[in-house]
Amino acid sequence: MNATQEQLKLKLTQALVAAFGTDYTNTDPILVSASNPKFGDYQANVALSLSKKLGKQPRIIATEIVNNLDVSDICEPPEIAGPGFINLKLQTSYLEAQLNAIQADSRLGIPTATTPQKQIVDFSSPNIAKEMHVGHLRSTIIGDSIARILEFCGHAVLRLNHVGDWGTQFGMLITYLREVYPEALTTANALDIGDLVSFYRKAKQRFDEDPIFQETSRQEVVRLQAGAEDTLHAWKLLCEQSRQEFQIIYDLLNVELVERGESFYNPLLPKVVADLETTGLLEENQGAKCVFLDGFTNREGNPLPLIVQKTDGGYNYATTDLAALRYRIQEDKAKRIVYVTDEGQSNHFSQFFQVARKANWIPEDVELVHVPFGLVLGEDGKKFKTRSGDTVRLRDLLDEAINRARADIESRLKEDERVETEEFIQNVAEVVGISAVKYADLSQNRTSSYVFSYDKMLSLKGNTAPYLLYAYVRIQGISRQGNIDFTNLGINRQILLKEDAELTLAKHLLQLDEVIKEVEQDLLPNRLCDYLYQLSDKFNKFYENCPVLKSEEPARTSRLMLCDLTAKTLKLGLSLLGIKVLERM
């Protein structure tokens, strides 16, 4: 709800109390957006819901409310429609004043949260020695956007990269490398991540086939956990190698993260198990320490426990998550912890959240949220793969998007006989390519799977990054064409709304704060994408219907201000999606 809606709600409540008494102080006036813009901007439906209680006809109730309602500084005189809806239409002068007030503000009038919080966003989180896959790409893009929005709302956000840097995979890998390529365990940069991944595959194969290898690997894990120097050194080298490769992706995507991998929590694991033991939640099951919860069953319908310590004494993914959760609450003092992973892990999250709650580890003022997302599919509707059926390397995927964006700009330049520097072309290609990938992901409701299509995401038409970037570029073009300095439009500048297209655009511009508040709550960045897409669309309609540079004053300056405010809104909104704008493209 934005500031205008809040004011209207308050005034409606006051009218309710004035009409029917203090019993109605907490009655919700049921203020919603108008079902049809013909009837105004908002409608209050409370009269219909009070009919029974008051023993009166809704229309009569509505009349009594309206008789006590003073919204003359915001709305046209309210109208009662149908069975008893109260229709409210914002005054043009009110809209103008609001726009004039926000256009000079760097936050565009959007307030920060009334109670700023420490919030953690746990996202990206790939696994060392394995390649980052499209699932991690989604987590990185969605998590980054969520973190940006929460930061903009004024929260202190800790962006945590919970990398999988511990566990049995290292035992196998180190054992295998000792045999075939020992230099990799002693010399920095002896391996390429590509090699690392293929070594890992081979190690895994050996592990599955060879019992002696299995045993040596297990011992290697024990040595690692005990801090044996050579193993620890090898482990560090392997992590460093992966880290460098991940960083290339983060740089390309312009995403910042603080790495705090699973290994960080390793010393805390025994205490997690011991504390669960004291709460009485632990059960021994075939030698493993487990927590059984109602409602979790496997495919056969048998109870599915959360295993916190395996028969061999080793700990699990969930044990680490429990330790991390406690640390984040106790040491980081987080009030909201957001985890961004594929929906395949939903069970894992609800299970360990529940265990932590049962153990009384979650104070009432701490909110835990799993933010799940669906799969990335190929154009054949199956899991996204390369032609040869391998998983797609993220670097290749991003490079391909940039190369295609480059081919596109080059052909447009040729067509228009425009000449640009190599630097310009490369920058446009990078911004467009990366934005297209990000936006294609963010614009979908994250819970659904989506089909990855370079052609679609790079298209200048439709709900795509290039379409939005182009709207921004178009506005910068107006300023260049008319030699306009948007930062200096004269002291008497005023936004004045006359035409329908101006009003429609104006109302939309004033809705950004509501959208941001929604995303802050439900963590669905696609709503912001929708908003920006609608904005570009409404701007384009305005631009088609209302001449800007060619119109007379004061309309000319007013329209220039609307253009500028649209551009600022696009730039801010896109920045919250992790997308940069271009002045020309």
Amino acid making up residue 465: A
Shortest approach of ligand ARG to residue 162 CB, angstroms?
Answer: 4
Three-class SS string for 341-361?
A: EEHHHHHHHHHHHHHHHHCCC
Rule CB under 6 A: say whether 341 interacts with ligand ARG: yes
Least distance between ligand ARG and beta carbon 341 (Å): 5
In this structure, are residues 157 and 150 in contact, taking their beta carbons and an 8 Å threshold?
yes
CB of 277 to ligand ARG, least distance (A): 23
Task: State in angstroms the smallest separation of the CB of 222 from ligand ARG.
Answer: 22
Please say whether the beta carbons of 208 and 176 come within 8 A.
no
564 lines the binding site for ligand ARG (CB under 6 A): no
4 lies in the site for ligand ARG, by CB under 6 A: no
CB of 349 to ligand ARG, least distance (A): 8
567: tokens are 């551009």
d(CA 292, CA 298): 12
Report the residue from 162, 289, 559, 568 that binds ligand ARG according to the rule CB under 6 A.
Answer: 162
Part in contact with ligand ARG (CB under 6 A); list of ranges 120-128, 246-254, 381-389, 420-428: 120-128
With respect to ligand ARG, which residue has the nearer C-beta, 117 or 125?
A: 125
Among 199, 339, 539, 543, interactor with ligand ARG by CB under 6 A: 339
Question: Do strands 42-44 and 85-88 pair parallel, antiparallel, or not at all (unpaired)?
Answer: antiparallel
Give the C-alpha separation, 155 to 390, whole Å. Answer: 40
Judged by CB under 6 A, the number of residues near ligand ARG is 10
User: 248 and 395 in contact (C-beta within 8 Å)?
Assistant: yes
Q: Greatest CA separation found in the chain?
A: 88
DSSP designation for 267? G
Which amino acid does the sequence have at 573?
A: G
Instruction: Give the residue with the Cβ less far from ligand ARG, 165 or 514.
Output: 165
Stretch 163-182: interaction string toward ligand ARG, x if CB under 6 A: -x------------------
CB 578 within 8 A of CB 141: yes
Phi, psi torsion values for 389, nearest 5 degrees: 95, 5
User: Residue 164 Cβ, how far from ligand ARG at the closest point, in Å?
Assistant: 4
Residue type, 14: Q
Bridge partners (DSSP) of residue 451 are: 377
Q: Which one of the spans 24-32, 123-131, 185-193, 467-475 is the region binding ligand ARG (CB under 6 A)?
A: 123-131
Among 119, 125, 216, 463, contact with ligand ARG (rule: CB under 6 A) = 125
**Residue with Cβ nearer ligand ARG (310 or 527):** 310
- Residue that is written with structure tokens 């950004």 in the block: 512
At its nearest, how many Å lie between ligand ARG and the CB of residue 85?
Answer: 47
Sites of contact with ligand ARG (CB under 6 A): 122, 125-127, 162, 164, 321, 324, 339, 341
